[in-house]
């Protein structure tokens, strides 16, 4: 539900920013959703107080993105002058004498203290939600910029993952969004102050896309997504593209010799491409940050930074790990409303969607009663062009840098999917990462790896070190994903029985539904 509201908000702002750079003072106050008073109040920098200041999206914990702890209301901290660490962010200082009055900038909304678990850097010290406690592995939307600029102009939320090995953790860095940048002449509000190209120029020869821009529609995994550079600047001499993916892309890039899970203009394992058009083919859901550098005929350049949203419908789980190419790790998803064992007689049962029974058109012997999905959203479509549910898109045995994904495009409210990771073949410790999406939104990241001093994902899994086909060896029962609606979910991570925290990893021949785990 909240995703829709968020998109609608972004779209409203985007259209405003893209179409009405000459709008009168204060007209941008509509559409952002309640954090502002009347334009005259806002423009004097006085916020009217109340919790809606700090929660412009209006999400008080019922949404799919929150950690469930909601906002801790400790009273509303005082509004402070200036933008703290963001004081100089995006200030435009090149006046070209266009003669238009761009009006006053939107207030920063910086407060005297941090407000917990709202994804905002309320006190403008450069960190969102420092001091908040959260459930390790959970993911929330966040914005690294003055709170009053969230969702304005070019600005887009990123994601932060709750880090920690105990019962409660703290929020990691806010990654992947678009923060305020210096204003440039492109008909877009780059510094997210409510004014596009203020004091800069009259007629831009290029237009960068804002969130919700019709030129950047929502895409899906395994669908080729085309972006035409000439939509942004006509007659340019050079278009350079750079694409950055989500948690699995970052882990694979760090550990699998620069592997990427997507292709650019048909090329694997590259994050850059040249040419007027970009053909982008993702395999994973999530937000992809694109930087497009355009060189005009006169030698000047324009850089556009925007997000391509790739949204898988329903329930989707992704698995990647730090040693792809040398180890064979399998992804398992258990049939909902059913607690039969995962494996019987050495074979994954029909209650366990796995490599041997769940690939879409190659091997398909599993039927949980879901209708096939129309369209071309799968890697291996059925004869009629649709996708089976559930389905495993890829079974990675030995290919470097390839994730596994299991999908149910059309789950029912109340369905509970248990996700597990099995160490099938190979030797040595492996650090898997599991990402859970509901309705296209990343909801949690479990596991991860520390590489070169950097943390990728959440707390790494330990003790996942012994292979044993289906029946023995290490098995990580990860999480129960309960669908509240067909596109939103509640996550219940699995713990060692009786423990308040930690991953439930066991190396034995127990292939019952629960093993020694509880939630």
Give the binding site for Ca ion (CB under 5 A). Answer: 114-115, 118, 120-123, 125, 127, 129, 183, 186, 188-191, 193, 195, 197-198
Q: DSSP per residue over 376-392, as a string?
A: S-SSS--TTS-B-SSEE
Comparing CB distances to Ca ion, the nearer of 185 and 387 is: 185
Q: Give the residue among 465, 477, 471 at the shortest CA–CA distance from 428.
A: 465
Q: How many CB atoms lie within 10 A of CB 452?
A: 7
CB of 443 to Ca ion, least distance (A): 19
Comparing CB distances to Ca ion, the nearer of 183 and 213 is: 183
Intra-chain end-to-end CA distance of the chain, in Å: 26
Comparing CB distances to Ca ion, the nearer of 143 and 331 is: 143
Helix (H, G, I), strand (E, B) or coil at 53: helix
CB of 31 to Ca ion, least distance (A): 16
CB of 216 to Ca ion, least distance (A): 17
Q: Give the residue among 160, 155, 198, 200 at the shortest CA–CA distance from 180.
A: 155
Residue found by looking up tokens 């127990």 in the block: 510
Q: Give the residue among 164, 172, 210, 269 at the shortest CA–CA distance from 13.
A: 210
Q: Could you give the CA distance from residue 38 to residue 26 in angstroms, rounded to a whole number?
A: 8
- Residue pair 267/275 in contact by the 8 Å Cβ criterion: no
Comparing CB distances to Ca ion, the nearer of 186 and 409 is: 186
Is residue 390 reached through a cis peptide bond, with omega within 30 degrees of 0 on the bond before it? yes
CB of 331 to Ca ion, least distance (A): 34
380 phi and psi angles, rounded to 5 deg:
-125, 80
- Residue pair 295/236 in contact by the 8 Å Cβ criterion: yes
Comparing CB distances to Ca ion, the nearer of 73 and 274 is: 73
Comparing CB distances to Ca ion, the nearer of 183 and 404 is: 183
CB of 227 to Ca ion, least distance (A): 19
Comparing CB distances to Ca ion, the nearer of 129 and 322 is: 129
CB of 124 to Ca ion, least distance (A): 7
Comparing CB distances to Ca ion, the nearer of 50 and 275 is: 50
Sign, CA torsion 436/6/313/68: positive
DSSP 8-state code for residue 359: B
CB of 357 to Ca ion, least distance (A): 45
CB of 89 to Ca ion, least distance (A): 11
Residue found by looking up tokens 């002058």 in the block: 81
């Amino acid at each position: 539900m909240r995703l829709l509201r968020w998109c609608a908000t972004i779209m409203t702002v985007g259209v405003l920013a893209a179409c009405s750079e000459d709008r009168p003072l204060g007209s941008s106050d509509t559409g952002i959703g309640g954090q502002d008073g009347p334009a005259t109040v806002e423009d004097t920098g006085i916020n009217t107080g109340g919790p809606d200041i700090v929660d412009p999206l209006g999400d008080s914990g019922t949404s799919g993105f929150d950690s469930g702890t909601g906002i801790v209301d400790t009273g509303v901290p005082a509004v402070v002058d200036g933008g703290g660490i963001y004081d100089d962010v995006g200030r435009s200082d090149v006046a070209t004498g266009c003669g238009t009055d761009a009006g006053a900038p939107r207030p920063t909304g910086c407060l005297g203290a941090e407000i917990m678990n709202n994804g905002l850097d309320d006190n403008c010290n450069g960190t969102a939600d420092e001091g908040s406690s959260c459930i390790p592995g959970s993911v929330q939307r966040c914005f690294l910029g003055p709170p009053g600029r969230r969702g304005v102009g070019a600005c887009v939320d990123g994601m932060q993952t709750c880090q920690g090995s105990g019962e409660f953790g703290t929020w990691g860095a806010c990654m992947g969004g678009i923060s305020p940048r210096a204003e440039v002449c492109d008909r877009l509000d780059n510094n997210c102050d409510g004014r596009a190209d203020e004091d800069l120029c009259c007629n831009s020869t290029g237009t960068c896309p804002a969130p919700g821009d019709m030129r950047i529609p929502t895409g899906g995994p395994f669908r080729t997504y085309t972006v035409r550079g000439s939509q942004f600047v006509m007659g340019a001499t050079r278009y350079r593209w750079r694409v950055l993916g989500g948690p699995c892309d970052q882990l694979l890039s760090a550990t699998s010799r620069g592997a990427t899970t997507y292709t650019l203009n048909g090329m694997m394992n590259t994050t850059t491409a040249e040419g007027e058009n970009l053909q982008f083919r993702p395999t994973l859901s999530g937000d992809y940050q694109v930087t497009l550098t355009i060189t005009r005929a006169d030698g000047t350049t324009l850089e556009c930074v925007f997000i391509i949203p790739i949204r898988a419908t329903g329930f989707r789980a992704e698995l990647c790990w730090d040693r792809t190419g040398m180890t064979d790790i399998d992804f398992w998803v258990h049939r909902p409303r059913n607690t039969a064992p995962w494996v019987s007689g050495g074979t994954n049962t029909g209650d366990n969607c796995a490599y041997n029974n769940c690939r879409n058109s190659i091997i398909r012997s599993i039927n949980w009663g879901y209708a096939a999905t129309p369209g071309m959203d799968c890697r291996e479509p059925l004869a009629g062009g649709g996708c089976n549910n559930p389905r495993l898109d890829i079974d990675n045995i030995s290919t470097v840098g390839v994730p596994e994904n299991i999908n149910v495009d059309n789950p029912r409210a109340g369905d509970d999917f248990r996700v597990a990771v099995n160490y099938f073949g190979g030797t040595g410790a492996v650090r898997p990462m599991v990402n859970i999406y509901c309705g296209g939104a990343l909801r949690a990241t479990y596991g991860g790896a520390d590489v070169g001093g950097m943390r990728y994902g959440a707390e790494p899994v330990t003790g996942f070190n012994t292979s044993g086909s289906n029946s023995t060896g290490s098995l990580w029962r990860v999480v129960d994903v309960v669908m509240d609606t067909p596109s939103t979910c509640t996550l219940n991570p699995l713990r060692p029985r009786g423990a308040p925290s930690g991953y439930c990893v066991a190396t034995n021949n127990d292939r019952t539904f629960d093993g020694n785990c509880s939630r």
